[in-house]
Structure 1
Amino acid sequence: MKDVFRFNEFFIHQRLILQLLDSYHKTILSTLLQNTKHYDDHLKQTFINDSFTEVITKYFAAKKIKSLEELLITNSKLKKGQVIWFYNNFYFKGIVKASKDFEKGKLPAYAEFHIHLKRYNKTIKGKYNYEHVHWCSATDRLSGHKSKFIVAYIDGIQKNEIVLRPMFISDRFLKDEILYEYDSPSLKLDISEIDEFNQVECVPHDYEELDIQKNKDISEERIKHSIAEILYENNIPKDWGGESSDLFTNHIHIDGKRYNAAFLLKGPSKFHQMTVKDLGVNGNQIVRLFDEPAEILVLQHCHYIKAEIYKTMDAFASRFDNIRRYCIIDGIDTQRLLMAYEKI
C-alpha cells in the first residue's frame, strides 16, 4: 500500500515553479520537456503540464515541504516567501470575469480564492492570473466551494490573515501501485478496513447497548491489552513519558497484506471530546506518532473526537516524502470493537 498522489491540474504558473526548482530538478524537468516535442500541439500542452506536475511533486518530496495545516498545528513561525502546500475546501470566485477580461486582452486577469480557518482564527486568501489557467473545465472547477490542492508562496502575513501567491492549483487524488483510482482524496481508513478489526461490523452504530459513558470505567491500559490480544501482539510496552506510541505492531493486515502500525491511545483521564489541546503542546503527541516507522497510524480515544483532529491527522499523513494511511477510533468505535471481540 505505497500511496502516491496524482493531480488534475487547472492552474500552473511555470515561471514561478522554475524560480523555485534547484538545478537538479530543473534538469529533470528539461529532460521531461524534451520528450514533449514529439506530440501535436494539443497533446504537447498536456504533457508539458504533466511534466511540471511530476517535477513539483518530486521537489516537494525531496525537500520535505510541509503543508500550511501542519505548520499552523505546530505553531511554526511563518515567513514571507516561504513555500507551502495546502489542501482544503476553498471558496473560489471571479474566474468567469477573469476569462472574459483575458479574452479582451485586459491583463492581468485575476480570480480569487479564500478560506477562513476558525480553529486558528485566520483567513487564507490569494488571487491567480487567468493567463496560467489550463483547460476549459477550470471555469467550473475553480468556482464556488471546491476542495483543491494549492502550492504557493506566502506573499503576506498579518495577525489574522495569510496571503498566498499560488503557482499550482489542482484536484488531488490517490492511485496505488496498480493505478487504481480512489474516489476520495482521504488517507483515512475505517476501523472495519483493518482485517483484524473487521468483526466490529457485527456491532452496528445504532446498537442500543452502546453508551459512551461506559468508557469512563475502561482504563487506557485495559484498552491497550485488549487491542494487543485482538492483534495477537505479545510485545506490550510499559507506559513512560517519552514514548512515540503506546503500541507498535506488524500484525495488521489490510486486504490480506501485512503492515506495521503504531497506536496512540487516550484513556478516560480526559473524558471529553478530544481536541488538539489534548494531544500535548502544539499537538506534539501526533508529531511523535508520525515519527514512528509505521505504515499505518492509529489514534484511539475514549470519547468523541472533534473534526480538527481528522484534519490534523490528514495533514501529517499527506507528507509528500512519506504518504501514509491513518485510522481514528472514537469512543463509540472503541466500544464496538471491544464488544465485537468480547473484551467487555
Structure 2
Amino acid sequence: MSLNRGGMRQSDAVIMRSRGRGPWESETIYAWFLHEELLRTLFNGTSRGRLERLARRTWGLGRGDHLAYARELERWLARYAVQPLEFALATGQCHVGQLVWLQREFAWSDVAAERQARRTGAAEVRSSFRTSLSVGDGRSMLVHGTFNPSRLTSSTSNIELKGVRHQFMLGHVAAVGEDEVELRPLAIATRLLQPPDGRGAEWTPHPRWQRVDVSEVEQFANVKFEVMPEALDAMRTLAEAEVKQALAALIGEPTIPKDWGGEQHDLWTTRLRLEGRGHSAAFVLKGPAGGSMWRPMTIAMLGKNGDQLQRMASSPAEVLVLQHCHEIRPEVVSMLESLASDMRNPRRYMVIDGYHSYALMRAAGVIN
C-alpha cells in the first residue's frame, strides 16, 4: 500500500482532492496531534467560516478532518505572535494559560499502545511527553505534559511520537514552577520552514538555509577562519566600538551608529552579501566591557533577560547577527534560532563567536 508523508493512502488522497479538500499534506505543518476544539477557540470568524464552508462542501466536518485544521493553524501562526517557551521562561513572563511554542527532542510514551487502550474502552489513558530546556545560567527546566491519544491524526503518528523524536509543539501553560513547566498541547507536528526568498520549505529543526556560516558571507571570502589558541585572549582587550568599525569596513557599510540605550541593534546594513545579492542585516555586538563580559555568553548578558535579542528580532532585517568576544553558549544560539523561526517572518541568522571575531579583526588589520 502506498502512503504519503501524512500516513494517508494515495488513493484516499486522490478522493479527497476530487471532493475539493486538496492533498493531505499541509504546506508547513504535518500534524500528528490536533486538539480541534481548542484550536477553534484561537481561530477568528474568517477561519471558522472556512471550516464551516468546507463542512458543507464535504458532507460534514468533524473530528478527524485534520487537513482543514492544519491549514487554518498555518494561517494563524503566520499572522499572530506566539512566544517561544524558552524566551517566556528566560524573561520571567511565563504564566498559566499562556500560549507558547517550542521545538525540541521529546521523550514520548507508548502512544500506539495508549491509543489502542482508548479504543478498547480505557477512557482515562493518556499519552505523555517530557523534555528539558536550558533557560539561563546553567538553569534547566523540565517540560512535560499529557494528551489524549485518540486525537492523533493518522497511523504515522504512532511512529512520529515514539521514543525520542524532535517535534514542534503549540500549547497552553498548564502549570509553571521553579524548575518545571506543564504544557497542554493544542498541536504536535513536524514543521517546515519556508525561506523568505520563496525557495522550497525545509524540515525543521535547523533547515539548511537558515543558519548562515560566517564563511558564507561574500565580503569574508578571503578570511582564514581557523581556531587559533590565542584568539580569545586577543579579543579580551578589543573594545566593542573597534569591532563595530572593523565589521562595517569589511562589509562596506559607511554608516556606523553611536551606541545608545534601548537601540534595536548595534549595527545595521543592507550590504551583507550572500549568494550573489545584498541582504539587510541587524547586528548585536558584545565586547569585553573592560573584562567583565569576557566570558562565555549567557542569556543574562543580553540585557534584561535577553531582551536585546528580542529587540533585534523586531527589526525588518533579513539576517539576524549575534557577535561576541568569547564563546557563545548553546542556549543563546537556541534562543536566537527560535526568534528567527517565527512563522510570521522566518529569517536567517548568523553567530560570530570570539574565534570568528579574531579572524575577522586580523583580516581588517585591527589585530596583527
TM range (shorter): 0.7 to 0.9
| Alpha-carbon contact 2:101-2:169 (below 8 Å) kept | yes
On the 8 A contact 2:322/2:350 being kept in 1, the answer is yes
**1:248 and 2:268 equivalent?**
yes
User: Relative to structure 1, is the Cα distance of residues 72 and 240 closer, same or farther in structure 2, using a 3 angstrom cutoff?
Assistant: same
State the distance in 2 between where 1:130 and 1:113 align: 12
Partners of 1:64 and 1:18 in 2: how far apart? Answer: 17
Q: 8 Å contact 2:133–2:141 — kept in the other structure?
A: yes
TM-score, length-normalised on structure 1? 0.86
2:123 aligned to which of 107, 115, 119: 107
Q: CA deviation at 1:94?
A: 2.4
Aligned residue for 1:263, secondary structure, equals strand
Greater mean alpha carbon deviation, residues 23-32 or residues 7-16: 23-32
2:200 maps to 179
Give the conservation status (yes or no) of the 8 Å contact 2:192–2:201: no
Instruction: Output the CA distance in 1 between the equivalents of 2:365 and 2:308.
Output: 30
Select which of 234, 250, 255 maps to 1:214: 234
Distance, in Å, in 2 between the alignment partners of 1:242 and 1:339 is: 30
5+ residue gaps, structure 2: 1-26
Instruction: Give me the whole-angstrom Cα distance separating, in 1, the residues matched to 2:55 and 2:151.
Output: 18
Normalising by structure 2, what TM-score?
Answer: 0.81
Whole-angstrom distance in 1 between the partners of 2:225 and 2:245: 23
Residues 1:205 and 2:221 are matched in the alignment: no
Mapped partners of 1:204, 1:247: distance in 2? 22
Give the 3 Å change call, closer, same or farther, for CA 181–279 of structure 1 in structure 2.
closer
**Cα distance in 2 between the residues matched to 1:182 and 1:92:** 20
2:252 to 187, 210, 232: 232
Corresponding residue number in structure 2 for 1:19: 41
Pairing 1:196–2:219 present:
yes
Report how many residues are paired: 331
Equivalent residue of 1:63, what SS? coil
Give the letter for the 1:247 counterpart: L
Contact 1:94 1:110 in 2 (8 A): no
Q: Deviations over 1:42-68 (max 9, x none)?
A: xx99x9433211211222333312222
Structure 2 residue 7 is the aligned partner of structure 1 residue 7: no
Supply the distance in 2 between the matched residues of 1:33 and 1:185 (Cα, whole angstroms). 36
Percent pairwise identity: 28
Q: Which residue of 2 aligns with 1:41?
A: none
2:298 to 272, 275, 282: 275
| Residues 261-270 or 153-162, more deviating | 153-162
2:12 is aligned to none
- Corresponding residue for residue 17 of structure 2: none
- Partner of 2:78, secondary structure, is helix
Counterpart-to-counterpart distance in 2, 1:135 and 1:254 = 40
| Residues 237/130 of structure 1: CA separation in 2 closer, same or farther (3 Å cut) | same
> What is residue 7 of structure 2 aligned with on the other side?
none
Report the CA distance between 1:37 and its aligned residue.
6.5
1:209 to 1:255, Cα distance in 2 relative to 1, 3 A: same
- Structure 2 CA distance for partners of 1:336 and 1:33, relative to 1, 3 Å: farther
Contact 1:33/1:48 (8 A) holds in 2: no
Q: Which runs of 5+ in 1 are unaligned?
A: 39-43
Pick from 302, 306, 309: which aligns with 1:286?
309
- Name which of 145, 155, 161 aligns with 2:180: 161
Shift of 1:133: 1.0
Distance 1:306 1:111, change over 3 A: same
- The answer to whether 1:144 aligns with 2:167 is no
Say whether residues 1:82 and 2:102 are aligned partners.
Answer: no
After superposition, the C-alpha distances for 1:55-90 in whole angstroms (9 at most, x for unaligned) are: 1122233331222222112211412x3322221222
